[in-house]
Amino acid sequence: MTTILLVEDEPTYRETLAFNLGRDGYDVIQAENGLVALDRFASADVDLVLLDLMLPKLSGTEVCRKIRQESRVPIIMLTAKDAEIDKVVGLELGADDYVTKPYSYRELLARVRALLRRTVSVNMVEPDPEEVLVVGGLEMNLEAHEVKVDGELVQMPLREFELLEYLMENPDRVLTRTQILDRIWGIDYIGDTKTLDVHVKRIRTKIEKDPAQPKLLVTVRGLGYKLISGE
């Protein structure tokens, strides 16, 4: 059974959501604050985290940051309608998606299912042990899940790694936003495209000399993104 860690401080809301997820076949572990969330994450085999950002004792952004230091488990943030900056910060810390309150349970369930399907699909693919992608000064070892920039190892969470891999497989080719979202987030992804933009921004901070004026991972206005080989 798929296990979901539900981190939400409002008891009625948390219990109702846990009940609905349980009815749909998920094993739900509940946490009422950030400290409890980290404790339960460490003691259980969690497949996905539903994480409210406004939490007592330890904020949702801090919980996200700490989880990302040790795990690539999918994280969906639950954010207030007017907390735009929190959404961006959460995505920059490594969350995979966000849902804005108030939202329908049907929408949330669709996001959960899509992200879990994507994660299972990625984990089922066995990389070629000999396969190393090289584009300019970028080197990606698929088996070791490692990225080097000019010989220096950089950290890449799963979603960033997948996105950069797709770009490195298609150097000097424009990949549309739709193509990228379909490949990395799945064809049934129903979130907005800001998630993609934030992931691109995070990758640029790791591969560009000046992320504010990218020379490698460039935006093609009105279309999408392109990775320049330098050849």
| Integer-rounded Cα radius of gyration of the chain | 18
DSSP E strands, 56-158: 75-79, 97-100, 132-135, 138-141, 146-149, 152-154
pLDDT tens for each residue of 33-51: 999 999 999 999 999 999 9
Contacts of 59 (CB under 8 A, 6+ apart): 34, 53
Per-residue pLDDT, 25: 93
Helix 11-23 to helix 105-124 angle (10° resolution) is 60
Distances (CA, A) of 38 to 8, 95, 184: 13, 15, 27
Low-confidence spans in the chain with pLDDT less than 50:
124-125, 127, 129
Other CB atoms within 10 Å distance of the CB of residue 185: 24
- Which helix (H) or strand (E) is 35 found in, with range? helix 34-43
Spatial CA neighbour of 225 closest among 209, 204, 187: 204
Beta bridge partners of 147: 140, 154
Beta bridge partners of 97: 76
Q: Are strands 75-79 and 97-100 parallel, antiparallel or unpaired?
A: parallel
Domains and CATH numbers, the chain: 3-124 (3.40.50.2300), 132-227 (1.10.10.10)
The Cα 35–Cα 56 span in angstroms is: 9
Per-residue pLDDT, 129: 47
- Which helix (H) or strand (E) is 88 found in, with range? helix 84-92
- Which strands make up the sheet holding 217-220, listed edge to edge? 175-176, 224-227, 217-220
pTM: 0.62
Overall size of the chain counted in residues:
231
Spatial CA neighbour of 53 closest among 107, 12, 99, 116: 99
